[in-house]
Structure 1
């Protein structure tokens, strides 16, 4: 399992081949005025040190604050601010290393796992984004799709025993997220297919890493995560037209 520890205002995390590039990204974000991300402090052979982003991550089960419309809106706006700041990141294809493959069309540097558990809240306000290990060049809609899938939520079952909202309520939350982000019409039209593509990619990664012996993914596979995501793909394919019609 990941060895993540906190001491005072610092967080120590495992480092990977992509960490130097991520540190360069985090530095760029702060230089552009996006201070809602951790700032890099140090990088060793096995561990990185970054600043602690104060607040509470949106872990399951959600609090009433995290489940609120205000949290949904501030989360979407925070994602837009991150994308806008990351869009000017000076890429160096000769030296940059990302943990995920580049996705076309490249519009910015996407987070790659923009979900409630990687967003930090102060009450109903989203105030931080953490865990940039999966960051990579890609289209803005890739992160928006991940967020809408998690925040609507568009899932076939409940997270941690929480009740699943009515379909109409989920579509309303999805539309509100897109509105608050300012997602363009073309991206809205491909949002559902992007959600399914991201889930298929997630299952592939999960099974590949589990087969390689990665303990986190072995645990996820044992807990039925791959089956859940496959069920969600089927659910999205069944309801995709209705969702898209409500978003565009």
Structure 2
């Protein structure tokens, strides 16, 4: 039996990264219930980490395929903000390399605000390049939301200093002379699309929180412009503000 206290053992177990660690083998015959519970917790933690890593590698399969077939730069693309009644649509292109190791990068909708904020900064730091393009309310009303999204995506690509050899795009084909793979729910299938979705969402969420100070009463900091009960109540009381999309229902009936 180890002479360490259970608290000391728990602290040590937090540093262990695999079940073959010699320290863990010394604890196998420790009969204290607290020690055995800590070992079980360690095993579950390592199993979750292995599952997360396997899922991460699976989301890298498209990028790895194109790298292996002669593409140096593969850009993942996503958008945020097609559905809201107010605010811009934000698009993002992200180019990663094979050293990218942020296992937590996945569909932005599956992450908490705190997780997204941390990953946003790390993605910006680790990516080969990140490009963001925005179309505001006026452009959305002029072009329609689908065309405005395509337009912003194309600008995001054209702003890149590294010309992509291939694009992986979440559901929106683009009129560009670059080979493309269009994926449904691409942010769940491609790591670079997932990274783009996180960056685009964080960028747009920060914009909407700023707009909440400029145009209070609609709950933009919470609903990000989507048609929640609070938002609709604000429209009923205050009418439409300058960032409301005139072409979207039910905004039209609140225009002055």
Between structure 1 and structure 2, the one with the greater Rg is: 2
TM over 0.5, shorter chain: no
TM-score class normalised by the smaller sequence: under 0.3
TM-score normalised per structure 1: 0.28
TM-score normalised per structure 2: 0.27
